[in-house]
Copies of this chain bind each other. A is one copy, B any other.
Amino acid sequence: MSLSGDSTMYEAFWKSVGAEADTLIAGWTSMSYSSDITNLCWFLEPQLAHQIRRLHKFVGNAVAGVDRFIIVGTGSSQLIQASLYALSPPDAAEPMSVVSLAPYCPSYPLLTDYLQSSLHKWAGDASKFTGYNYIELVCTTNGPDDCDDPDDPKREAILREALLSFSDRKTVHDLAYYWPQYTPITHRADHDIMLFTPSKSTGHAGSRIGWALVKDRAVAKRMMQYVELNTMGVAKEAQLRASKILQLVCDAYEDPERDIKMKLFEFAAEKLGNRWGKLKKVGSASSIFTVPSFDQISGLFTVPCFTMDVCYFFEDTSSHRPAFAWLECEKDEVEDPESYLKEKGIVVRGGSRFGIEARYVLFSMLDDDQIFDLYLQRLAALS
C-alpha cells in the first residue's frame, strides 16, 4: 500500500535499461475479458503469474509456489478491499472491525469506510483494540520509533508481524515494502494473504497493478468475486507490461555477464543507502543533539537510525533503508510541523494522518534526485 506519492527515483534506472524494457501490444491481441479460464483467477495473464513466482523465489521474500493462489488486482488498494470483502462474513450481526498498528497507511480507514458497508468498519490503531472479531491489516514499513538502540523499549522490528491474536485471527499482510532495497530479507514470508505491488518494488505506480498470494481457496474465490464485481478483471495491457518489467528484473540476476547497472535491487539499495547517509549528515551537521540514537536536524527535527540485520538476498549484514523517514519535531513552539515544513517548501505528511502524534512527519526517500536534494538543502537550512 502506498504511503505517499510517486517513486520517481526509479525512472533513472528504467531509462538506463532502455529499449529492452519496451512492451509492444498489437491491436488485435488481449481483447478478451479472460486470460486463462482454467485458472481460478481467470483474468490473470499466465506470463505475469510465472514472473511473479519466479521473482519471489529468486528474491526469497515470500512463499509463492504453485500451491499459493495469485489474485491480480488493479493496484493494491483494490486487493486490500478484496481482502476485507473476503474476510468479512456476509451475514454477520455486526460489521467486522478493521484495525492496523499506527502509523498505518492513511488510506486504510478511508478504504474500509467510504461505502458505509455493513460488512466492515474501521476500528483504528491495533494496539488500542480490545474486541475479538477483527481483521488486522499488517503493513511492513518503518514507524517513528524504529531506532538502533536495542534497550529502547519502543524499538520495533520494521518487518512487522500481526499484533493481535484474539479469537479467529484474520490478517492481511501488506508487503509492498518487503523488498531488499528497503529492508533486509530475513526470511520468506508465509502469511494467509500477502499483498505486493510494482508501485514500490519497481516504481511502476501508473500501471495500477498489484498481486495477492493467498493460501486458502475459499478466500481466494471471495477475493476473485470482489474483483469481478468491482472492475471485471484487470487491464491486460498493464499485466503485460508488469510481466515484461518483472522478467527483466529477474533476467539481470540470472545472467552473470550482466552489467551491475541492470540490477534493480542494487541500484535502489545504493541510492537509498546514500540518501539515508545524506539525511543523517544533515542531522549531524547540526549543533544540538538531544536523543543519542537519533540524528537531529537544526535542533528542530530528529531522524531515526535503524537496526542492522542479515539480508539473505544481498548475503550481507545491512541496515534498513526505509522508503520513508519519520522526522520528529523537538520544538514545542512548532504547533503544526507539517504546515511548518510546507511553508519552508518541504512536502511531508503529518503523523495524525497515520494515527500517531502530529509532531512526527513523514518524509519520502523515493522522489527523484532533484526533488530529494532540494528538500534536503531546505531541511539543512532550517533554523
Contacts and interface: CB of A to CB of B under 8 A. Distances in A.
Nearest to A11: B28
Interface string A82-125: 00010000100000000000000001001100111111000000
A75 B6 CA distance: 24
Contact of A81 (B11, B14, B230, B240): B230
A244 B29 CA distance: 14
Nearest to A20: B27
A24 interface: yes
A33 B8 CA distance: 10
A77 interface: yes
Task: Give how many copies assemble into the complex.
Answer: 2
A241 interface: yes
10 contacts: A8-B31, A20-B27, A23-B27, A115-B119, A116-B118, A206-B236, A208-B232, A208-B233, A208-B234, A234-B235
A310 interface: no
A17 interface: yes
Contacts of A5: 33
Contacts of A240: 237
A207 B232 CA distance: 10
Given A33-B205, A207-B236, A208-B232, 12 more contacts: A6-B33, A14-B31, A22-B26, A24-B24, A27-B241, A27-B244, A27-B245, A43-B206, A77-B230, A116-B117, A206-B236, A209-B235
A46 interface: no
Contact of A21 (B8, B13, B26, B115): B26
Contacts of A119: 115-116
Contacts of A22: 24-27
Interface in A169-207: 199, 203-207
A87 to B, nearest CB: 14
Nearest to A6: B32
Nearest to A18: B27
A-B residue pairs, 3 tightest by C-beta: A21-B27, A14-B28, A237-B237
Contacts of A34: 6, 206
Contact of A232 (B7, B77, B230): B77
Contacts of A31: 6-8, 10-11, 14, 203-206
A359 B268 CA distance: 62
Contacts of A15: 28
